[in-house]
Each structure stands twice: as C-alpha cells, then as structure tokens.
Amino acid sequence: MTTTVALFTRDLRVHDNPVLAAAHREGDAVVPLFVVDRDLVPDRCPPNRAHFLAAALAELDDELRAIGGRLVLRRGDVVDEVDRLVAETGAASVHLAEDVSRYSRARERALRERLRRRDCRVHAHAATITAADPESLTPSTGRDHFAVFTPYFRRWTEAHQRKPLGKPRALTLPRTSGDALPGSGDLTAGEPSPQLAVGGETTGRKLLRDWLSGPLDGYARHSDDLAADATSRLSPYLHFGCLSPTEVVRRVDMSTEGGHAFARQLAWRDFHHQLLTARPDAAWHDYRARPIRWRDDPQAVNAWRDGRTGYPIVDAGMRQLRAEGWMPGRARLITASFLTKSLRVHWRIGADHFLHWLVDADLANNQLNWQWVAGTGTDTRPNRVLNPLRQAKRFDPEGDYVRRWIPELAYLDGPLIHTPWRADADYPAPIIDCVGM
C-alpha cells in the first residue's frame, strides 16, 4: 500500500486543492497533515490570525472526516515533524503548496534535503495559493517579473487557468497519531478583535455563494463606498486557503462590470505574489529606492494606531481595524497614505501594524500594497497623496461610515462629521494640517 502525505499550509480546504488531489491520486492511503510550527506559533502569530486559524483547522477536520479522513495535527519544527511522520508511515511522497515568502522557500528546501535521505519525494504545487503560477507570467521584454500592474493584468486575463478540482470522494487514512486540534485560545496569548470573522472552508464557501448570488453585480459601482460595506470580505479565506483563488476566478463572470472589477482585485493579489517571487527583499526593503526623508514621530504614530489623528475618516478605518481585524480596501489606502504621505512615517511601521491586526495580512499583499501607497513600490505615480478630507467627501459623503465607527461624533449631521473642529466637538484636534493640501 502506497502512503502519501498532504501537508497543509496556506491551503486549508478540500475543494480544488492540488495538494490533496495529487496525494490522493498517488497514494492508496493519505495522511492530511498540519504542523503547528513552533517557529511561528505563538510568538509570531498575531491573535486575529491565530483565532481564525484555529477555526479554519476545525472546519478542515470536519470536511476531511466527511470523506473518511481526519486532520492529523503535530506540533514542533515542520521539517522534523514531517520527517518523523514519513518514518512512521513509510510515506513515498509529501505534497505541499508552493509559496513565495523567503520562509516558505527555505522550508521547502529543507524538506527536500531531509526527506531525500528517506527516498521520499517532495512535490510543491504551484497555483494553489494563487490563481496563476507566480513564475508562469513574464513580460516579453525578458524580465523575470512584471513591474506594472496593467500589462500584468492583460497577460493574466489571457493566460490559461486550470479547471477547478473536485474534492476527493473518499480518503483512506493509515494508522497514525496526532495531537488534539487547537482551541481558539491555544495558539496565542493575546485577545482577538471582538468582531473577528469565523475562519474555515465551510464558512468561506457560504460567503462566496452569497457574494456571487447578487452583491457582486454592484461591486464596480460601490466597492469604494465606505458606508455601503460593498466588498466581498473574502480576503481572509483566500489568505488561509479556505477558498481556492482559481475556483473563485472561474466562478466570476468577467464579462460583467462587477465581475471584471472583482477579478481585477484578485489579479492584484497574484501580481504581488509574482513580484515577491522575483524580489523577495521587497518584503522589508524598498522595491524602488526614492529619496524620501522619513520622520521619526512616535506621538503621531500612536495617534494613528489608536484612531485619534483628528481626521475622522482616518480614525474610523483604524478603529475598524482594531474591532474587526479587517477593513475595506479604500480605508486601507486612506489610512496608509495618511501615515506615509501626510505624516511622512516609514511604510514599514504601518505595514507592521497591519500585519499584527489584519486577519488577511500576508507579506506579498500587505508589504507591497504599503509600498505602492508610500511611493516606493509599483505605483506609476509615486508622488500621489490621498488627502483625507477629499477622500471623505468622495467616499463617505454623508459621514455614515465615520458615524458607525466613531460613536462620539454620531450626533454631527451629514458631512460636518468629517471636520469636527468646525463644530467645536469634543474630539482630538488634527495632528497635522491637511486642509490646504
């Protein structure tokens, strides 16, 4: 009997999972494995992601049990635990998703080196975490990656994408042991955001069905309307792989206005992954060095983090981040631009704060979106500044978004809520003058 291992990482699903499908196809018996990595948990796993992960693992276990398997959980060094499991089961191969971070690549290399001694093959599957293989789309100029999104998107829409894979009908699990699944508080010592979404494939697939059934139609028109809350909220499920990006793209009708706009956002996700694949240092260093004089202003940074800058549209976004571990894209742009362009604080400080609180934060999208806003990334207009007052007037004209997250200003009528200093409201004064910007 041939045994294989499906090592789950950021692909916590049974539907359209190339890792699980290949392990099932190759093996008579399959060990679905997740290792709680001692290098990441709990010290480097923020509370929101830890709680979302625990829920996602529970739902993955439920999905696996429905087809005759279960999730085998181990704790420790990933390479050591996989090696130990291969020795116990005599597994002929290990399958995992190809990822782009420096840590993920080092993990894959270490697995290959260790398991070669046991004559156990390691297969890394591309287009599992992203819709397109990050290394498959390159410019005709001969460069190793696209540095501008528009030509990448053009190539992305023309590229062939594989058909989504069905989940295995049944799994056979060899005799092996594992630890108990972690509870919501077992992976971190910190408290999560009070309104954090529930993680998992079952939950994510229901959200996707609801999104595709109607709200998607208005995405192009309303996605930047902060008060409308008209975005999909699927990003955490894509980050953890509870949803397959390939399946999501294939289920979106790109011939419609809403479908095209939504697919464009999914392509941005792939764009950043292909960029980080080619330039791994961009996770921590400027992709394009520019002569920016960053300011050291701890008081301003603390006011920004706490949602007390005096600009309600900025503060509302930062308070939503703390409350939900999430915020819509437009709010991310506004708050990031305020920190980097208005306050001239280094983008890494903001990126670190987002990495701590955002449940969907990964290095590719978080770091490179911050660089795009800061002017050190791929924006073709690196000097653009998003004035918070103009952004408020355009994307929250009646102040309903601000009213939702800053209740102490809810009594102010209409757009007056965006300039509380003009109403003598009991609210922090602006920490910088953006009126004339």
pLDDT in tens, 129-155: 999 999 999 999 989 999 999 999 999
pLDDT for the residue 44:
72
Contact between 49 and 359 under an 8 Å Cβ cutoff? The reply is yes
Using pLDDT thresholds of 50, 70 and 90, give the confidence band for residue 42. Answer: low
Domains and CATH numbers, the chain: 3-129 (3.40.50.620), 131-161+201-278 (1.25.40.80), 298-423 (1.10.579.10)
The span from the CA of 335 to the CA of 124, in Å, is 37
- Does residue 236 have a pLDDT over 70? yes
Strand order in the sheet with 29-37: 72-76, 29-37, 3-7, 93-97, 121-125
Output DSSP code: residue 179: B
Residue whose pair of structure tokens reads 């699927």 in the numeric block: 234
Say what percent of the chain tops pLDDT 70. 99
Give the model confidence (pLDDT) of 353-407 as tens digits.
Answer: 999 999 999 999 999 999 999 999 999 999 999 999 999 999 999 999 999 999 9
Say what percent of the chain tops pLDDT 90. 93
pLDDT for the residue 43:
67
**Which residue spans within 20-163 are E strands per DSSP?**
29-37, 72-76, 93-97, 121-125
